[in-house]
Amino acid sequence: MVKILVNGQVYVTNFNISLYDFLDFLLPESEGCEFIVEYNHEIVFYENYKKINLTDYDKIELITIVGGG
């Protein structure tokens, strides 16, 4: 069982999953470009999502940027 912390909320999975697949499950309509992903305190570029396999107690922060004037 893998516990992942996303924006302060705990998610649990019973199998190994990549960052890409996890985000696809969490945000199925997203194409990965609407937010910034911080994985264990480091910014991750979209092209690297498939290279990262999540492990127990990984921390993910999804950051959106809102423009205004």
| pLDDT value of position 3 | 96
| pLDDT value of position 32 | 57
**Between 52 and 27, whose confidence is greater?**
52
Residue 68 falls inside a structural domain: no
Residue-wise pLDDT tens digits, 3-39: 999 999 999 999 899 999 999 998 877 765 678 999 9
Largest interatomic CA distance in the chain = 45
| pLDDT value of position 21 | 94
| pLDDT value of position 36 | 92
Quickly state the pLDDT bin for 66 (edges 50, 70, 90).
confident
Domain that holds residue 50: 2-63
The count of other CB atoms within 10 Å of the CB of residue 31 is: 8
Scanning 1-69, the segments in alpha helix (DSSP H) are 19-26
Residue 35 falls inside a structural domain: yes
The rounded distance, in Å, linking the Cα atoms of 28 and 43 is 21
Task: Name every residue whose Cβ is closer than 8 Å to that of residue 40 and which is 6 or more positions away in sequence.
Answer: 58, 59
R_g of the chain computed on alpha carbons: 12
Q: What is the CATH number of the domain that holds 22?
A: 3.10.20.30
Residue 22 falls inside a structural domain: yes
